[in-house]
Amino acid sequence: MTSADLDLVKSNTDALMQRKQLVAFAFPAVILVYFIYVFFAFDIAGLAKRANWDNAVTLASDSWSYKVHVTRSNRTGEIEYAVEGERKGRYPDGQRPDWVSGQDITTIDLGSDTIVRLLSDNRTEVDVPSFGLIEAQAEGRQITTNLGGQIPDWISASDRRVAITTPEGRITITGSKTEVFNYFPGWELFWFTFESPYHGYGLGQILFGDRIDPARGNIQGAVYDWWNNAMWRHNEVAWAIGETILMAFLGTFGAAIIALPLSFMAAKRFAPIMLVRAATRRLFDFVRGVDALIWTVVLARAFGPGPLTGSLAILITDTGTFGKIFSEALENVDEKQIEGVNSTGAKPLQRYRFGVIPQLVPILLAQILYFLESNTRSATIIGAITGGGIGLMLTQAIQTQKDWEEVAYYIILVVVMVMFMDSVSGWLRGRLIGRKD
């Protein structure tokens, strides 16, 4: 190597290094500039103002705890006990939680010596150990309290409404009612509502104990009551999950069944006519490009909300995707196997059956099963738009903005469902193709 050559190589290397250096600095710089642009385009600075952190706190605490409402009507003096204040969670007549006592004066023990007393004449006493005794009385629409000018920030008081928030519970007093909320961890009434005779019994007692409901066997009755639990609606949830999986199943396999014959028409080797090939390919591009969102919107107009609409939306979109993948796989089929089958004197159909299909099946199955899992997720989202399955229940629960424990329950179910479908499709792939990846 002469020195001139060496110089050339050296200068080339220098140029290359310089270009690489430039790229190494330019690439992050471009991204940084883009992020700065997005920072303003998305108004991230204003986000902190718009965000509602109280909502976040409610969400975080409500999703793993429940509250029992003790409500006194300040008109009739009647006291009601209900889980989450819902009609379905109301304590039966004559029953009340064990932290409530007293006849004329109802004493509510919120724990840590925080005590609320509901007295006659719509008077309410709240005893907070670190603060003292708060007295309030409702007369008509007017509330009078013993609170002076110095009110701590966990109390908000006006002459119409008094709200006291302590770590043990919350008390609100208005002219019409006095409400006490007592918080507990867990998901109350998850197994049985108060209407069920099995409420309050443990698993051991139900399985091995005496017959609780004379009319029914223990296990049968307990399963029935749990399944028809009005608060948590287990049977509806199960149906909804079934619907979502059904949408994914019908959509994925329906798309595969339709796309397979069409993909032959889009592959160069099997469709010699250019026009047919181009037309099929454009059809695939079109249905893929329109996207599941628009298909859902269009189909919901024709079929109404429900799982069928969701399945068809997935089916149509995925026909395009599968068509593209399948026809690419068809193009890459190895000619040698077909020739081999041909040399035994096979007819064209037999050539396809024994020369082409065995090469295709592993690729197709792997793709279909992969899409089955990812479509379970799509079906959840499409369900939220078109009204079907667990996606709809989840959206509704979030939009009511109070049943966060239900939201948490549904989210867990959705994650478990997707992971379940993931492992089912992985298992099937392993069984059918013979290797696991």
Partner 1 sequence: MTDAASPHPAGVIEIQSHYMAQVQRRRLYSGLTLLIFVILMVAGFNIADARNAGGFWDGVLNIGDYPAEVISEAWEKRADLPGLIARFFPALIETINIAAVSTIIGASAGLILSLLSTRGLARWPVLIPLFRRTMDIMRAVPEIVIALVLIFVLGGGPVPAMIAIAIHSAGALGKMFSEVAENADLKSVEGLSSTGATWLQKMWLSVLPQVAPNYLSYTLLRFEINIRASAILGFVGAGGLGYELRNAMAWGPGRFDEAAAIFILLFGTIVLFDQISSRYRNRLTEGQNG
Residues near partner 1 (CB under 8 A) are: 31, 34-35, 38, 41-44, 47, 50-53, 55-56, 59, 243, 246-247, 249-250, 253-254, 285, 288-294, 297-299, 301-309, 311, 377, 380-381, 384-385, 387-388, 391, 394-395, 398, 401, 407, 411, 414-415, 418-419, 422, 437
- Of 113 and 331, which CB lies nearer to partner 1 in the complex structure? 331
- Of 73 and 400, which CB lies nearer to partner 1 in the complex structure? 400
Q: In which residue are the tokens 């309410």 written?
A: 124
Give the separation between CA 270 and CA 327, rounded to whole angstroms: 10
Q: SS3 breakdown of the chain: % helix, strand, coil, rounded to 5?
A: 60, 15, 25
Taking the complex as a whole, how short is the minimal distance between the CB of residue 227 and partner 1, in angstroms?
19
- Of 168 and 373, which CB lies nearer to partner 1 in the complex structure? 373
Any long-range contacts for 382-386 (C-beta under 8 Å, 24+ apart)?
382/247, 382/292, 382/296, 382/310, 382/313, 382/314, 383/243, 383/244, 383/247, 383/307, 383/310, 385/293, 385/296, 385/297, 385/300, 386/296, 386/299, 386/300, 386/305, 386/306, 386/309, 386/310, 386/313
- Of 338 and 382, which CB lies nearer to partner 1 in the complex structure? 382
Residues in the chain: 437
Q: What is the DSSP code (8-state) at residue 126?
A: E
Taking the complex as a whole, how short is the minimal distance between the CB of residue 174 and partner 1, in angstroms?
26
- Of 47 and 275, which CB lies nearer to partner 1 in the complex structure? 47
Taking the complex as a whole, how short is the minimal distance between the CB of residue 146 and partner 1, in angstroms?
37
- Of 292 and 338, which CB lies nearer to partner 1 in the complex structure? 292
Taking the complex as a whole, how short is the minimal distance between the CB of residue 384 and partner 1, in angstroms?
6
Taking the complex as a whole, how short is the minimal distance between the CB of residue 190 and partner 1, in angstroms?
20
Q: Is the dihedral of CA 275, 280, 283, 285 positive or negative?
A: negative
Taking the complex as a whole, how short is the minimal distance between the CB of residue 180 and partner 1, in angstroms?
26
- Of 178 and 252, which CB lies nearer to partner 1 in the complex structure? 252
Taking the complex as a whole, how short is the minimal distance between the CB of residue 284 and partner 1, in angstroms?
11
Contact 167, 152 (CB under 8 A): no
Taking the complex as a whole, how short is the minimal distance between the CB of residue 75 and partner 1, in angstroms?
34
Q: Listing from the earlier edge strand, what are the strands of the sheet with 142-145?
A: 100-101, 106-111, 114-118, 123-128, 132-139, 142-145
Taking the complex as a whole, how short is the minimal distance between the CB of residue 51 and partner 1, in angstroms?
5
Taking the complex as a whole, how short is the minimal distance between the CB of residue 214 and partner 1, in angstroms?
37
- Of 169 and 383, which CB lies nearer to partner 1 in the complex structure? 383
- Of 29 and 293, which CB lies nearer to partner 1 in the complex structure? 293
Of 97, 130, 132, 134, give the one whose Cα is nearest residue 119: 134
Q: Which residues, 6 or more positions from 169, have their beta carbon under 8 angstroms from its beta carbon?
A: 67, 110, 111, 114, 116, 180, 181, 182, 183
Q: What is the DSSP code (8-state) at residue 90?
A: B
- Of 4 and 41, which CB lies nearer to partner 1 in the complex structure? 41
DSSP sequence for 295-319: HHHHHHHHH-SSHHHHHHHHHHHHH
Q: How far is CA 399 from CA 243, 271, 392, 395, in A?
A: 21, 51, 10, 6
Half-sphere exposure of 73 (CA within 13 A, CB side): 5
